[in-house]
Amino acid sequence: MEMGHESGSSREFEGQILAIDPIMGDSLLLTVSAPPAIVQRLRPGQFFNIRCRFPSAYDPLLRRPFSVYRVDVERSALIFLVRPYGRGSAWLADRVVGDRVGLLGPLGNAFTFSPRTQRVLMVAGGVGVAPLVMLSDEAVAKGMDVVFIMGAADESGLLASSELAGSVEFVAATDDGSRGHRGLAPDMTADYVPWADQIFACGPEPMYRTLRAVVDPLRVNRKPPVQISVERGMACGLGACLGCVVETRHGMVASCVKGPVFDLDEVIL
């Protein structure tokens, strides 16, 4: 492997918050400026490790990974979906337009379409919706048919279907039945498994176990294949610390580099 002896192509930079918009109840969409080369080349499923504190205060210490929800090529900006949950995300949600945030990325691999895919099924749980929005945009742009299943605790946690292209079929599920089907997102997938060429899922880990239980009996020769984005506590985001590993058929691999997207059949959850 040849390494740059000159100053390497830095993936660490500061972005400026250009816009903050409410979404999905108490969550926010943060539009953050980024170099054009990064915005243009970004692939759906990739993420950034974001510093969620003032530089001189060391608590909370670590960066937080956030998937890209969408890119805004015209403004040369990345859009993140932030749910104020714990200390880091709450800090981020507390920013105002004009503030600067430290970004490291793009990191990780991406969701990939197979050459002949025409019909795609998205399965999103909560803020897991983020990378699937960008992926849906891309699928629609490629002329694919998209069914987008989304689950949330209640109505307020659901994505507004207007966030997706008009051609996308949006299926909602809520734990309390306040909108759409009562139940979990994976429960809604059964009808679409035979239809789909590929399935893409993003949500909490228990969702994947349920998803596997639902789709496996319906799949033939592991088809349609299922790509999932796993969520692990992270430190470096670059494959150096081995704190974020996922157990796969080929051993423990860093989910920040070999993931976060994995084939459901490859990972041991």
Ligand X SMILES: Cc1cc2nc3c(=O)[nH]c(=O)nc-3n(C[C@H](O)[C@H](O)[C@H](O)COP(=O)(O)O)c2cc1C
Question: Binding residues for ligand FAD, per CB under 6 A?
Answer: 47, 60, 64-67, 81-83, 85-90, 127, 130, 231-234, 260
Token pair belonging to 3: 């390494």
187 neighbors 173 (Cβ within 8 angstroms): yes
Q: Please choose, from the candidates 110, 120, 111, the residue with its C-alpha nearest in 3D space to the C-alpha of residue 197.
A: 120
- Residue placing its CB nearer to ligand X in the complex, 61 or 73: 61
| Closer residue to another protein, CB minimum distance, 190 or 242 | 242
Stretch touching ligand FES by CB under 6 A, among 112-120, 150-158, 174-182, 229-237: 229-237
Which one among 119, 243, 248, 266 touches ligand FES, defined by CB under 6 A? 243
Q: Return d(Cα 172, Cα 191) in angstroms, integer.
A: 14
Rule CB under 6 A: is residue 241 a binding residue for ligand X? yes
Residue 59 binding: pick among ligand X, a second copy, ligand FAD, none (C-beta 5-8 Å cut-off by kind): a second copy
- What does 54 bind: a second copy, ligand FAD, another protein, none (CB cut-off 5 to 8 Å by kind)? a second copy
Contacts 24+ apart (CB under 8 A), 52-59: 52/87, 52/88, 52/89, 52/91, 52/92, 53/88, 53/91, 55/102, 59/87
Strands 77-82 and 27-33: antiparallel
Contacting residues for 165 by C-beta, under 8 A, at least 6 apart: 136, 137, 140, 146
Instruction: Report d(CA 58, CA 66) in Å as an integer.
Output: 20
Whether residue 260 has a cis bond before it, omega within 30° of 0: yes
256 binds ligand FES (CB under 6 A): yes
Interaction site with another protein (CB under 8 A): 1-12, 51, 58-63, 104, 232-247, 251-252, 257
Interacting residues with ligand X (CB under 6 A)? 241, 243
Contact footprint for ligand FES (CB under 6 A) = 234-237, 239-244, 254, 256
Residues that bind a second copy (CB under 8 A): 53-54, 56-60, 87, 90-91
